[in-house]
Amino acid sequence: MVNLMSISRNFFLGRELTKKIGPLNFLRKREMDAKAAKSLANVGLGNIREMEESVNFLSGGERQAISIGRATFFGAKLLILDEPTAALSVKETEWVLRLVSEAKNNGLAVIFISHNAYEVFEVADRFVVLQHGRNYADLTREETNPEELIEVIAGRIKK
């Protein structure tokens, strides 16, 4: 996210809709605002303020929702989230985990990087634990539970 840019500009960052008039390209701002607002409403940000508002005024959860909404809108096949719930409130964390589950259920592959085994366990089907850049454990949800996963992450159990 670029803090000083608007919500819709961040949503379309690198994929802006433009119209060419002579040698100049102009942003199709109204169309970008409308499409971003509709897509963000689909991920639970229907009450978002104005699309022209700067993203530096948004909460961490709202920023994550914009990222997930953007990935969904542009047809991404893989979403990589690195500590997406760090520094979020409990309510925002629940919301982001729900968005991740919905994205996964809609066919989007998700790599969720986290140190919080309880959060990861809510949304993951498979757990890969790395230690010093090497694969230390590879478990399915059916093979483990959050407490055992914590032991594996801590290196007290080798699976």
Predicted pLDDT at 157: 84
Which residue reads 């690195």 in tokens? 82
Give the pTM: 0.79
The count of other CB atoms within 10 Å of the CB of residue 86 is: 11
| Tens digit of each residue's pLDDT (9 = 90 or more) over 7-22 | 999 999 999 999 999 9
Which residue reads 């700067």 in tokens? 54
Q: Would you identify the CATH topology of the domain 7-124?
A: Rossmann fold (3.40.50)
Measure the CA–CA gap between 30 and 145, rounded to whole angstroms. Answer: 48
Residue 36 CB partners (closer than 8 Å, separation 6+): 7, 8, 11, 12, 51, 69
90 touches 102 (CB < 8 A): no
| Tens digit of each residue's pLDDT (9 = 90 or more) over 61-113 | 888 889 888 998 999 999 999 999 988 889 889 988 998 998 898 889 999 99
Token pair listed for 55: 């993203």
Between the CA of residue 60 and those of 83, 84, 124, what are the distances in Å?
11, 9, 21
Domain boundaries, the chain: 7-124
Average per-residue pLDDT for the chain: 91
User: Helical H runs in 43-133?
Assistant: 60-73, 90-105, 117-123
